[in-house]
Amino acid sequence: MSADPLNRAGTPQRGKTSRPPEGEAASEIEVRRSARRRRTVSAYREGGRTVVLIPARMSEAEERRWVSVMLDKLAAQESRRALGDTELAERAERLSAQYFDGRARPASVRWVTNQNTRWGSCTPVEGSIRLSHRLQGMPEYVVDYVLLHELAHLLVPGHGPDFWRLLEAYPRTERARGYLEGVAAAARLPHPPQGTRGE
């Protein structure tokens, strides 16, 4: 089954509005099933809601899985389009206020292109946070997790129990860590020689 977030074709067979999965932004999600749609799944934003178009024959479990996948794809597209250094710093300030009562106050937050083995870094003495450009285009909850991770280092150096207790406040910590571990593992996979196809 392929995902095509730009394909909006298909006459809805039935509509259903549901709440987002736990931890998602508090916007409505409308799932539209279409008998004309055979394989593609797509999604787009429409005002304050997200519309996800799926084949009519899809099971409820497949629907839940694809809604989550498409929300991540849309978030990645939006993150790729909009997040510069200024927005990144503003986002860090909002996250600090929301999860750390505003106690983590970085002097600077910016994207860098020289971090290929780490997702982010923090220099507490200077109050500077740097995120790897490789995060650009990843889902928002992943970028937020890395920002929170580095903000936490402004409060607690190292990765001891106090540090991880701070991050427990963010409900998507485990999911974000799993996503980043998957990206890192995929980067280590051997690539087949050009001109061959995997079975």
Q: What is the pLDDT of residues 61-74, one digit of tens each?
A: 999 999 988 888 87
- The model carries a pTM of 0.57
Average pLDDT over residues 84-110: 92
Average pLDDT over residues 82-95: 85
Q: Answer yes or no: is pLDDT of 16 > 60.
A: no
**Residue 114 confidence (pLDDT):** 87
Nearest to 142 by CA among 75, 65, 42: 75
Average pLDDT over residues 161-180: 93
Q: Answer yes or no: is pLDDT of 22 > 80.
A: no
Q: Answer yes or no: is pLDDT of 120 > 70.
A: yes
Q: Answer yes or no: is pLDDT of 96 > 90.
A: yes
